[in-house]
Each structure stands twice: as structure tokens, then as C-alpha cells.
Chain A
Amino acid sequence: MTATEPRAAVEEPQPTPRRVRTTVLAWVTSTDHKRIGLLTLGTAVVLMIAIGALALTMRAQLAQPQLDVLSPDRYNQFFTIHGSGMIYLVMTPFAIGLGLYLVPLQIGAPNVAAPRTTMLGYWLYLGGAVTMLSGFATSSGAADHGWYAYPPLAGTRFTPGPGVDLWIAGVALAGLGMLLMAATVLWTALVKRTRGMTLLRMPVFSWSVVATNLMCIGAFPSLLVAMGILAAGRIEPDLFTQNAWNIGYQHVFWFFGHPVVYVMFFPFVGAVAEVLAVFGARRYFGYRITVVSLLAFAALSMSVWGHHMFSTGQAENDYYSLTSILLLVPAGLEYFGFLATLLGGRLSFPTPMLFAVAFVPQFLIGGLTGIMIATPAVDYQVTDSYFIVGHWHYTLAAGSLFGFFAGFYYWFPKATGLQLRERMGKAHFWFWLVGTNATFLPMFWLGLHGMPRRMASYLPQDGFGTANLIATLGSGFLAVGTVIFLVDLVVSVRRPRRAPDDPWGGFTLEWATSSPPPPQNFDPAHPVPPIRSYAPLLDLRPDLGGGRGRR
């Protein structure tokens, strides 16, 4: 990529077919971290809509007992592709793609290290997504063994058909792609920081990405091994007649599977921290303790996988309970930073701040229920019930996705040079606030009253009807909110309003350059400012007490 390339789409003349073709080509072969990052995020947003639509269909099926919206087999395919899609194809790419876009900017680097490897990562991810979803086009349908594909169910004896094979290939491709991308972004943060950007001056968001990518490096190889075991077992079905392979698969899978749930929320902790500080008009409180907590959290996360296996009777339950409960220490310290920043700020509430503020109590519900299910005596009862479904949707949908939207609304003007419409953003927020809680809160009750997860339907005498109806109505609010979000995007692109370089008064380096940033991120017109702390632009603003904080 050269510096002469056209920049913001809004300034371009009417697109001709030839121009469109060259622009597309420039994007898909780009070695610019911003373009690869936006491709990753854009692909994941599209997939989020498609995979979210699967969830809405499931909610329709469950609205009342014995409905026939989906056959049992279709339902099972839908929850499998919804769960695997959200995890492998949406939230993980959100997490890693956001880091890819922002980390080089935040540390003053001109590009990501190893841009071609990064691009390969995107292509592997896209190929994996297409491969997994193409299962729906086969005669036996998509994979229907759940997002963690336990053998022997996922073996050929019990689930023949190409859907599972495509699923395995898709997960392996997407997983490898994410691993490559995480590795190059980590490398960038370690070696490509600009002058003055010491490790302890990296913004909280960049640190959260470092911790995330460390977990990726530790965990994703294990996913590839797990997919290898599944593939081997599909070639040689006798493998899965042996308990050692079946339970061994679970250990290998969860060695990946637990860290990845933190991959899907750390960058959003970082994003929320940045947003709270900027809209609190103050330096983020407790920077160093937050960095230490993120790293401790990441390290501990590699030791807790067995808490997914308490009821197998084949895991060291006491050990995994111990390590899992210890996670509350770093998590509590992160919350300390959130709350102290809010308590010490002068707050204003544009859309990004609304999502960031809601993240705090909603994710907390996910965390508190997490401690409960880290306790075997409780987990024996609630595991594989709707209580668990409620738990992880509070962490991932009510938590991470709110954090993602906080970041989306916050950084959208930077990435595009365009402003979103505040009123639509706020409407999106309120629909999601109501919808999320109405959808996922009743699930705790359902689980405690005996509803297993992954139930394609239930009977009237089960007594699950009312709570499920509330959940389904709630998901309607989520759908409306999502439509508003999409309309907002279309309107903002079709009737562009230019965003200034620094619309929010941000503290970190990306706000010192133009919107969107030039190909090399900073240029003579937008040089990297002096860096004296993790909030370099705040240091230049005496009106906000800049320069008064430590370091």
C-alpha cells in the first residue's frame, strides 16, 4: 500500500464499476492492519446478524410448549451453529480484530508486524466461516452436536454426514486464522512500540489485547489438537468406543475452551475502561493494578478448564474449583478500577458510555453466577441446565457484546471519518438493555426448575411456558434494537456527516491522527505526540488536570 491511495470513501467521485473493482481488490489484498482489521470486524458483524437470526428462530420455537417452528434435528443444528458461530466466528474475531485495528494506532506503530501473515489469518477465518456454514447446504444439514462436539456423539457412528466434517474443518481453519492474527498483534505490541511508549505506558485496551493474545497462543493449539482427535475418530470410529479418548478429548477441548471465553471478554474490559475514562473526563483509576490483574487472570485461566467437567466424575473437582474461585481476585480488582473511575469522574453519556456503563452490572451477574458454578456442590445440580445458558449469555451477550458496542460506537468515527446518529444509537441501547435482561434473566429460573439446555421443545406439564415466553419476547426487543443499529449504519454512510479527528476528547494516540488515519497511521500533519503516560493526550490538556496524575 502506498501513501497515494484514495482514503475516505466519502470524498471519492461516483464509483464506476472499474473503480469499485480496484477498491475491492485493494481491500482484499491489503497489508494495512486497519483494512485487515475492518475486514475482520465487518465480516464478524455480518455473521453476528446471520447467527443471531438462528437464535431468534430458536427463541420462537421455545416460546410455548410443543411448537413446530423447527424440527428437533433443525433445532439441534441451529443451536450448534449459533453457539459455534458466536464463539469461533463472531466474538473471537471481534476480540482479535479490534486489537488488530487499534493496537498499532495506540502504540504509535505504522503497521502490524508481519502484515501478510495477518492477512492470511483473515482468509483462513473467512474460509473457516464459509466451510462451517456450508453444512446447511448438505442433504443431512449442518453439524448438530453442540459447540464442543463431544465424542462419541460427534463420531461417524452417531452423526454421519458431511455437516460434522465441514464443521471440524471450519473450526480448525478459523481457529488457525485467529491464532496467526493474535500472534502478529502480540508481536506488534511487544516490538513495534514508538519512542517513549514503554510497556507501562500502553493504554489499558492495548494491555487487554496483549493478555488476550497470550491466552490465544496458549490455548488455540489445543483446539487444533482437539479437531485432530475428532477427525481421527471420524476416520477410525473405534477410537470413540474407548473412554480414554472420549474423556481425553474433553480435557484437550476445554484446555482451549476455557481460555477462549476470556479471549471473548478481555478486549471488551479494555474497551469499557477506555470509554469510562474518556467520558468520565479523567485518567483511568488503578492502571497498574489493572494491568497486573489482566496478566494474572490470563495466567490463571489456563488452569481452570476442568470446571466444565465436574459432573463427569472424571476430573479433580477440588483443584478446578480452587483455581476457578481464585479468579475473583483479579476480576474484583478490575471492577475496582471501573468503579473508582466512575466515582472520580465527571460523567457524560453519549452512546458508547451507555453501553460501557451497562456492561458493569450485567457482566457482574455473569461473574457472580460463575462463582456459583465453580462450586461443585452447586454445579452438580445446575450444569447442563438453562442456568448455565443464562450464565454465559450474561457474560457474552449482556457483557462482551455490550462492551463491543461501547467500542464500536466509540471508535466508529475514527475508523470511518463518519458520525453515527446519536438518537439511533441510544434507541439501540435501550432496546438491548431491556431485551437482554428479559431474554436471559428467566433462564436462571428455568434452570433451577429443571429445564435442561439444548431442548428442542418441552411439554405443557413441564411448567416452563411463561418464563420461556418472557425470554422470547425479550429477544424481540433485541431484534428491534439490532434493526435500529443497522439502519443507523446505513443512514450514516448514505448521508455522511464528517467526524472530526477527535470527536470525544480521547486520551490515547489514535485520537491524535486523522479520521480515518492515514496509511502509515501518523504523518507529518499528524505526528505522534510526546508520550509520558498511558493517557498521552490527556497529559496535553491542563483543562482536564492533564499532567497531574502519576507518571
Chain B
Amino acid sequence: MDYRRVFDHVFGLQLWIAGGVFVVVAGLLLGALVFNRARRRDKLPFAAAEHNAIEIAFAVFLGGAAAFLVWLSLSNNHRLDYGDTLAVAQQSGLPAGQQPVRVDVTAFQWCWSAAYPGSTTTVSGSCATPADRPVIVVPQGRPVEFAITSRDVAHAFWIPDLALKRDAYPDHVNTVLMTFPETGQWLGRCSEYCGTYHKDMDFFVRAVPPEQYQAFLQTGSLPARAAA
């Protein structure tokens, strides 16, 4: 799922709408401040204290705006499979080689580890300095299902540049599905406050070509000149 594209689309549209509303409200406000100063007026611009027809019309308009925004919200949430991996079930009908790859991510105070079902390869680190950040390796071009849990308190798995986030709870597994169309490396962070060194819980996610990923699963490390 392309969280980033959906985010950019929805947030971008909302930003335009919000900007428009702000300009209209601020404009009316400024107009009133300039033209309605007591010094400039000796009587009220209008005396009426309510106008039911306008009020009801405005309420209907607001209802319409709300309906549109609800539609925007829900339809995009469905595009993201409710932010969940309901789609994993549908994707399991895919041919071998296209099916999602699962990566088990575990948060703990204060770092991350990852395990790969069917392989002895694991990733971990201490997060104490930037050099000790774990690098979670994933294949490029194939859906990846992150199965996220925690060993202790609540944390959250966040890759800001990819707009991907899901909380990590003990005694519970959350899943998110994400395809990495390109190779590359992204910074991840913990975004749910988890105690003293919450600030240090950074990690990397690195997408590599499928062959390198296979090598990684077998040997536990990437070839020396792996694509970054």
C-alpha cells in the first residue's frame, strides 16, 4: 500500500480547503475590523439578531461539506485497507513469488528487533548511538507485511518519509502492508512515548533487490556492495 501517496493526496486536498476557509473567515474578520469601527459608523450595519433562513441554509451547506469530508476520509481509509492488512487475505491468492513477505518487528525499551519467518536471520541493535541503529532489510517490489508487537510497553513503528505508522503493543500483533517500489533506505522512529530513551529509538528500513534479499535471509547479512 502506498501510504505516502494517499497521505499526500488527502492532506493536500484538505490543506487547500482549510486554506480557503481560513482566508474567507480571516477576510470577513478583517473587513469587519476595518469597516465596522465605532468611529466610522454611527449606526449598526444591520439590526436583525437572527435570520433563520440563512442559518438553516448554512447548516445544510455545512452538512454537505461534512458529508464530502467523511466520504474523502472513509474512501481513502478503505484504499489503505483500513490501515490494516485485510488485503493480505485477498493477496494470498496471488502466484508464488508475488505473495507478501512477512517481517516480524518487535519493539522493546529502547530499540527494535526484526525476525524473518522461515529463516534464522534476525536484526537487532541498541539504538544508543546512530551507529547502533538496527537496519530492517526488506525486498523491493514485493508486498511486505510488517507484523508489529512489543516486548514491554507501547511503542509505535513510524517511517516518516513513507507516511507509515502503526502502534506496537505487548500481547497483541498489528500488521501493515507496504510495497517498496524502489530500493533505498529510510529512517524510522518510535512515535509512541515509551520511557526514558524514547528519543533514541531510531532505526532504518532498507529495501534491496530480491536476490540480495534472498542472500540476506540465507546468510544473515547483506553482500558487501549491496545497493543502498
- Which residues of A are in contact with B by a Cβ distance under 8 Å? 72-73, 76, 144-146, 150, 152-153, 157-159, 241-243, 246-247, 280-289, 310-314, 317-318, 321-322, 325-326, 328-329, 332-333, 335-336, 339, 342-348, 357, 360-361, 364-365, 368-369, 371-372, 374-378, 380-381, 383-385, 449-450, 452-459, 461, 545, 548-550
Q: 1/0 per position for B202-224, CB-CB distance to A under 8 A?
A: 00000000000000000000000
Are B74 and A243 in touch, CB under 8 angstroms?
A: no
Q: CB of B128 within 8 A of chain A?
A: no
Closest A-B pairs by Cβ, 5 of them: A450-B160, A549-B49, A313-B174, A243-B171, A368-B18
A364: chain B residues at CB < 8 Å are 21-22, 25
A287 to B55, CA, bound (A): 11
Return 8 A-B CB contacts under 8 Å, by A number: A150-B154, A282-B44, A289-B55, A317-B82, A328-B65, A339-B29, A339-B32, A346-B37
A242 to chain B minimum Cβ distance, whole angstroms, is 6
15 new A-B contacts at CB < 8 Å, known A317-B82, A548-B47: A150-B154, A153-B195, A287-B50, A314-B172, A328-B69, A342-B32, A345-B45, A346-B44, A347-B37, A371-B18, A372-B15, A384-B191, A385-B158, A452-B190, A452-B199
A137 to chain B, nearest CB (A): 20
Which residue on chain A has the smallest CB distance to residue B32? A342
Are B7 and A377 in touch, CB under 8 angstroms? yes
A322 to B153, CA, bound (A): 30
B residues 135-193 near A (Cβ < 8 Å) are 152-154, 156, 158, 160-161, 163-167, 169-172, 174-175, 187, 189-193
User: Whole-angstrom distance between the alpha carbons of A458 and B202 in the complex?
Assistant: 11
Say if the beta carbon of B115 comes within 8 Å of chain A. no
Q: How far is the CA of A360 from the CA of B25 in the complex (A)?
A: 9
A325-B170 contact in complex given A287-B50, A317-B83, A342-B32, C-beta closer than 8 Å: no
Shortest distance in angstroms between A63's beta carbon and chain B's nearest beta carbon? Answer: 16
B196 touches A377 (CB 8 A): no
Whether the Cβ atoms of B44 and A345 lie closer than 8 Å is yes
Contact B46 A459 (CB under 8 A): no
Decide yes or no: A73 and B36 within 8 Å by CB, A329-B62, A377-B76 being known contacts: no
Determine if B62 and A328 form an interchain contact, defined as CB atoms under 8 angstroms apart. yes
Nearest residue (CB) in B for A250 is B154
Task: Give Cα A287 to B164, complex, Å.
Answer: 45
For the complex, is B102 an interface residue (Cβ under 8 Å from A)? no
Residues of B within 8 A of A459 (CB): 130
Please give, as numbers and ranges, the residues of chain A lying within 8 Å of B36 by CB-CB distance.
280, 342-343, 345-347
The reply on B87 being an interface residue by CB < 8 A is no
Residues from chain A with a CB closer than 8 A to the CB of B154 are 150, 152-153, 246
Q: CB-nearest residue of chain A relative to B150?
A: A152
Given A243-B171, A281-B44, A454-B193: A322 and B14 interface contact (C-beta under 8 Å): no
Which residues from B are CB-within-8-Å of A384? 156, 158, 165, 191-193
Measured between alpha carbons, how far is A348 from B74 in the docked complex, in Å?
Answer: 45
A287–B49 Cα distance when bound, in Å, is 8
In chain B, what residue has the closest Cβ to A280? B36
**Which residues of chain B are within 8 angstroms of A378 by Cβ–Cβ distance?**
7, 10-11, 14
B33 at interface, CB cutoff 8 A: yes
The answer to whether B165 and A317 have CB atoms under 8 Å apart is no
Interface membership of B41, Cβ < 8 A: yes
Given contacts A325-B70, A357-B33, contact A335 B170 (CB under 8 A): no
Binding site for A on B (CB under 8 A): 3, 6-7, 10-11, 14-15, 18, 21-22, 25-26, 28-29, 31-33, 36-38, 41-50, 55, 58-59, 62-63, 65-66, 69-70, 72-74, 76-77, 79-80, 82-84, 109, 130, 152-154, 156, 158, 160-161, 163-167, 169-172, 174-175, 187, 189-199
CA A365 – CA B158 in complex, angstroms? 26
Please measure, in the bound complex, the distance between the C-alpha atom of A454 and the C-alpha atom of B3, giving whole angstroms: 24
Contacts of A452 in B (CB 8 A): 158, 189-191, 198-199
Partner of A343, one of B7, B31, B76: B31
Cβ B44 vs Cβ A344 within 8 A: yes
Measured in the bound complex, the distance between the Cα atoms of B37 and A383 in whole Å is: 42
Given A310-B83, A318-B82, A357-B33, CB of A346 within 8 Å of CB of B170: no
Q: Are A326 and B199 interface neighbours, CB within 8 A?
A: no
Do A456 and B199 have beta carbons less than 8 Å apart?
yes
- A342 neighbours in B (Cβ, 8 Å): 28-29, 32-33, 36
> Would you call B33 and A329 a contact (CB within 8 A)?
no
CB pair B82–A311 under 8 Å, yes or no, is: no
| Chain B residues within 8 Å of A450, by CB | 160-161, 187, 189
Judging by beta carbons under 8 Å apart, are B193 and A377 in contact? no
Q: Is the Cβ of B3 less than 8 Å from the Cβ of A313?
A: no
Q: Which of A144, A376, A456, A458 contacts B77 (CB 8 A)?
A: A376
Contact of A158 among B66, B109, B169, B174 (CB under 8 A): B109
Residue from B77, B83, B170 within 8 A of A241 (CB atoms): B170
Q: Which residues of B contact A357 (CB under 8 A)?
A: 29, 33
Residue among A287, A361, A378 having the largest count of chain B Cβ atoms under 10 Å: A378
Docked-complex contact A383 and B191, CB < 8 angstroms:
yes
* B148 CB, min distance to chain A CBs, angstroms: 9
